Amino acid sequence: MSLAQPESIEDIKARNKALIKEVLEVYPEKTAKRRAKHLNTFEDGKPDCGVKSNIKSIPGVMTIRGCAYAGSKGVVWGPIKDMIHISHGPVGCGQYSWASRRNYYIGTTGIDTFGTMQFTSDFQEKDIVFGGDKKLAKLIDEIQELFPLNKGISVQSECPIGLIGDDIEAVSKAKTKEYNGHTIVPVRCEGFRGVSQSLGHHLANDAIRDWVFDKMEGKPALFEPTPYDVAIIGDYNIGGDAWSSRILLEEMGLRVVAQWSGDGTIAELEATPRAKLNVLHCYRSMNYISRHMEEKYGIPWVEYNFFGPSKIEESLRKIASHFDDKIKEGAERVIAKYSPLMDAVIAKYRPRLEGKKVMLFVGGLRPRHVIGAYEDLGMEIVGTGYEFGHNDDYQRTTHYVKDGTLIYDDVTGFEFEKFVEKIQPDLVGSGIKEKYVFQKMGVPFRQMHSWDYSGPYHGYDGFAIFARDMDMAINSPVWKFAKAPWAA
């Protein structure tokens, strides 16, 4: 089913236009009109990608998106390892998000760390009818008894909480008082709020502001500040990403006082307002708290990108530019140290991957952030889109994509399948729900949320793994067997 590849940019743009028209034809008129705003081709020189975003998904179309709870519990709060995060409501949400995001951490699980555990209030009918506040209060007592080394508790609201009128804030306040100021954070991240995970990130950020920062005044600092203190913001340590990033920052002479939130602790959250610079990887999920710290504590923040040597090099210099010569020299030293490794990785893998075409569909950062890493390997991104990006993400994307790239926001199962079928990329990078669809079609695939259980992909150490994994996906012998020799 491979089609002749269009050659010129104009051909590509015409093909994309026809493709978009074709997929829209399947929808009822009202839906087609709405979906049309989310599909486009990037035109060089435009300030954004020409699509609307962060708008409600349409019922019944098979959106890939999740919910606010997933954004708060699953993404932002869940990785804080020395706190207990209660999935407050029925059993399912906590069960499906239990340890599936691979936020690596070091600790004795169940004793001093709790990341890969599922704590839930397991709501029953009576809790819906009579309210769950009493159960929540009792549950917090039970946590304090059975898990005495927990450093804090967060209450992650599932859908019913906001619908039945529970006052989780009052319970949290009362229990904080009862337990001598123990951090207890209520989060209103009910899954029906907002249009995707994205609002959950925002609500979780706000909860850190209101229930961690605003409650810690007067608490003593754990360490003496230095001029080189930075905090890593928006790295969830998937497969160890934050670790392979932190090591570079430390090597260039910076001191990382906090990791948000992969392998993070409540102490690190509390330490962050004392940092000199916040370095922000996932802009989408943590720009809110970065802006807040800038306004309230005067801490500047800088976005960086640790995917692939080109972007890493650029980012190290950008971060260093906020510091003195010692750090600037440190950045150059780090770049020089790793460049033989990068040269070797590229020499090994680029010849196997040169010219391969990739289509992406990921969350709120990677649809643009990983492009440089692919390009370092000679690969080309022909289509990309965000599950829950906003307009500012699509603006930032213009610095990454080429003229004529197909853009699809909140893509539906049907659209994605059609686009891949027609464009026939050499690799699709998306999530678990998409993986097997495309593999059945004979298209190599890598999960770009979980790194397909590999990783880390961040940093220089991570790029070697990224290159190896893309090679093993694309050049696996299995794809040659998809068609039986006797089949037409």
Between residue 316 and residue 375, which ones bind another protein under the rule CB under 8 A?
337-338, 341, 344-345, 347-348
Tell me which residues are annotated as active site.
67, 70, 101, 201
Nearer to another protein, 50 or 431 (CB): 431
Give the interface segment with another protein, choosing from 4-12, 28-36, 38-46, 176-184 (CB under 8 A).
28-36
The per-residue DSSP string of 396-414 comes to: HHTTTPPTT-EEESS-BHH
Is residue 3 part of the contact set for another protein (CB under 8 A)? no
Is residue 388 part of the contact set for another protein (CB under 8 A)? no
Is residue 424 part of the contact set for another protein (CB under 8 A)? no
Give the interface segment with another protein, choosing from 40-48, 128-136, 293-301, 358-366 (CB under 8 A).
128-136
Under rule CB under 8 A, which residues in 74-93 are in contact with another protein?
82, 89-93
Nearer to another protein, 51 or 465 (CB): 465
Nearer to another protein, 296 or 483 (CB): 483
Question: Residue 114, exposed/middle/buried by CB under 10 A (0-12, 13-18, 19+)?
Answer: buried
Nearer to another protein, 123 or 374 (CB): 123
Is residue 118 part of the contact set for another protein (CB under 8 A)? yes
The per-residue DSSP string of 11-59 comes to: HHHHHHHHHHHHHHTTS-HHHHHHHHTTEEE--TT-SS-S---S-PPPT
Shortest Å distance, C-beta 401 to another protein:
26
First-to-final CA distance of the chain: 11
Phi-psi region of 165 (alpha: psi -120 to 50; beta: other; left: phi over 0): left
Is residue 461 part of the contact set for another protein (CB under 8 A)? yes
Among 15, 27, 285, 419, binds another protein (CB under 8 A): 27
Is residue 198 part of the contact set for another protein (CB under 8 A)? no
Omega of the bond leading into 261 within 30 degrees of 0 (cis): yes
Closest to 229 in 3D by CA, of 269, 278, 190, 172:
278
Among 142, 214, 294, 329, binds another protein (CB under 8 A): 142
6 and 15 Cβ atoms separated by less than 8 Å: yes
Closest to 381 in 3D by CA, of 442, 308, 453:
308
120 by DSSP, 3-state: which? strand
Among 21, 110, 226, 297, binds another protein (CB under 8 A): 110
Among 412, 423, 426, 446, binds another protein (CB under 8 A): 412
Under rule CB under 8 A, which residues in 253-312 are in contact with another protein?
256-259, 263, 265-268, 271
Shortest Å distance, C-beta 332 to another protein:
17
Give the C-alpha separation, 448 to 367, whole Å.
Answer: 9
Among 124, 226, 339, 476, binds another protein (CB under 8 A): 124
Among 21, 33, 326, 440, binds another protein (CB under 8 A): 440
Is residue 43 part of the contact set for another protein (CB under 8 A)? no
469 by DSSP, 3-state: which? helix
Q: Which residues contact 155 (CB under 8 A, 6 or more apart)?
A: 86, 88, 136, 168, 171, 172, 184, 185, 186, 187
Is residue 185 part of the contact set for another protein (CB under 8 A)? no
152 and 266 Cβ atoms separated by less than 8 Å: yes
Among 17, 43, 63, 352, binds another protein (CB under 8 A): 63
219 DSSP assignment: P
Shortest Å distance, C-beta 341 to another protein:
6
Q: One-letter amino acid identity for 77?
A: W
Give the C-alpha separation, 79 to 119, whole Å.
Answer: 14
Give the interface segment with another protein, choosing from 291-299, 304-312, 395-403, 477-485 (CB under 8 A).
477-485
